[in-house]
Structure 1
């Protein structure tokens, strides 16, 4: 059964078990999906209301266009919940391959390299998508129902958790790459994501806390 098809309690029990997957990568993707769902709830409580209708047509159109980003991101985050666990399991399977002969050793190493790349690319997608959501959410905070500002704040925290949590999963797998140039490339990409994420998180939460006062 896919993780996303589990009931909440069953998923939490699986997460708490001695099995190393699902782990932080899948939880990071779930955090992103939760953030998108919260923002979509906020939109459902905002669009069509008197204050929303009072906004300019351009602002309303931008708002609706941004909602499409979150709808798409929700589906992608949800898909990545299972993909992260699948990537980890593929790496564990590669480590179990026989290594008695030179041919087996070479085959095993090639499979480990391929699986390690998967364990980097999946959380990198989560991290990049989380950053995209953080970049997009500000315009919704300004123009949404003010009674949902706490929900909007939690969505920011969810996107932050998704972005930084997935970044950590990229970093922990980088030493497993045998291609040093590729390792450096991924490291720069994730460092840039982390840097921008920290700035956006502080800015957005400051805005949310101001509106809550």
Structure 2
């Protein structure tokens, strides 16, 4: 979730708090569709990551080569849960950012504090991006040996991971671009750039679906 110089600050109702991992999917979709800013795009990006990783885990459970041992699959399950945690973290970060901007407007604008608030809001989508890149590297390493009967599921994992990366990166840069001091954003941008190889490999796999 991100916010650039909002004209009015949203009011958070008691029903718009962070979504829990055991919330029914219908409740989650209703919350996303509601006239509340959270859960919003950042949380949706995290759920895309969770779904892609869960689908990857299912594909692995049906695949019989040595690449797909219990440890590998267990790590994917843990990553699925981590994405859900990041969905909640993104909602909290957005609400904290809104409160910070509101306080700054009341008490006089302090560029240092505002930049710090935007950097904090960029952290959850950055962690989503890094986790998705990690899963993408794992996927690229084993996708050729997955169960051929699940070829469409395997291709969907790649597409959903790419979408997760794109959505997370969008939210990262919107927050970073709101910072007045561009030097503060360099470390964040370098963290994104460090995963360019994994992303390019994933995109190459997506571009050649007939290779499977």
TM-score using structure 1 length: 0.79
Shift of the alpha carbon at 1:109?
5.6
Deviates more, 1:145-154 or 1:197-206: 197-206
State the alpha-carbon separation in 1 of the partners of residues 154 and 197 from structure 2: 19
Q: How many residue pairs were aligned? A: 194
Partners of 1:19 and 1:111 lie apart in 2 by 25
Residues 71 and 115 of structure 1: is their aligned pair in 2 closer, same or farther, counting only changes over 3 Å?
same
Residue pairs, 1:4-83, within 5 angstroms: 4-46=21-63, 52=64, 55=65, 60=66, 62-64=67-69, 65-83=71-89
User: Residue 84 in 1 paired to residue 90 in 2?
Assistant: yes
Corresponding residue of 1:105: 108
Match of 2:203 in 1: 202
Kept in 2: contact 1:63–1:139 (CA 8 A): no
**For structure 1, which runs of at least 5 residues remain unmatched after alignment?**
47-51
Q: Which entry has the higher C-alpha Rg, 1 or 2?
A: 1
- Contact kept in structure 1, 2:111 and 2:180, CA below 8 Å: no
Instruction: Name the CA shift for 1:118/1:96 in 2 (closer, same or farther; >3 Å).
Output: same
Structure 2: segments with no counterpart, 5+ residues: 1-16
Q: Tell me how far 1:98 sits from its aligned partner.
A: 6.2
Pairing 1:151–2:156 present: no
Q: Note the C-alpha offset of 1:120.
A: 0.7
Question: Structure 1's 154 and 135: CA in aligned 2 closer, same or farther, altered over 3 A?
Answer: same
Cα deviation, residue 165, structure 1? 0.6
Query: Quick one: structure 1 residues 186 and 98, their matched pair in 2 at CA, closer, same or farther if it must change by over 3 Å?
Result: closer
1:164 aligns with 2:156: no
Shift of 1:111: 5.0
Equivalent runs, 1:136-147 vs 2, <5 Å: 136-147=138-149
Structure that is richer in helix per residue: 1
C-alpha change, 1:151 and 1:92, in structure 2 (3 Å) is same
Q: Write out the 4+ residue segments of structure 1 that deviate beyond 3 Å after TM superposition.
A: 108-114, 195-198, 206-209
Partner Cα distance (2:181, 2:194) in 1: 20
How far is 1:142 from its partner? 1.8
How much does 1:178 deviate?
Answer: 3.8
1:158 CA displacement = 1.4
